[in-house]
Amino acid sequence: MSNDSAQETTGASRLDAETTFAPRQQVLDQLRSYLAMLVDVIDQHPEASMERDEAQWRLEELVEELARTPPSPPRVQSRWLRLVPVLREVRPDVPIAILTQLLKRAIGDL
């Protein structure tokens, strides 16, 4: 899959462009929205597998933590670090580096 189709699938270029200069709360709101959408994308993944189920579960945990006011940076970091390997396995087109940077901007250093 080319980078262009990966960006179309995940909205990576739009996500990056919309949050480059956004205030911290806007970045957090955008991440919440994007990750909630990603929950549905993973749920609709055509291949049922343990990796998909784990990615779904870990992503839902992260979404729940980000919904807290305020989110706990250590818990967000922990959930993100556990999610990344399975997310790469299930959806290699997801822009992990961009999401990591956005999480850092929204939450603080991960």
Write down the number of H helices and E strands in the chain: 6, 0
- The tokens of 45 are what? 């993944």
Q: Look at residue 8 and tell me whether its pLDDT is greater than 50.
A: no
- pLDDT tens for residues 12-64? 555 554 544 456 889 899 999 999 999 999 988 887 889 999 999 999 999 99
pTM equals: 0.75
CA distance 7 to 9: 5
Give the count of domains, the chain. Answer: 1
Place of tokens 């992503």: 59
User: Is 39 within the bounds of a domain?
Assistant: yes
Q: Look at residue 89 and tell me whether its pLDDT is greater than 80.
A: yes
Q: Which domain holds residue 26?
A: 17-107
Report which of 60, 46, 57 is spatially closest to residue 91, judged by C-alpha positions: 46
What pLDDT does residue 23 have? 62
User: Is 3 within the bounds of a domain?
Assistant: no
User: Is 73 within the bounds of a domain?
Assistant: yes
User: Is 6 within the bounds of a domain?
Assistant: no
Average pLDDT of the residues of the chain: 83
What pLDDT does residue 109 have? 65
CA distance 28 to 19: 9
User: Is 4 within the bounds of a domain?
Assistant: no
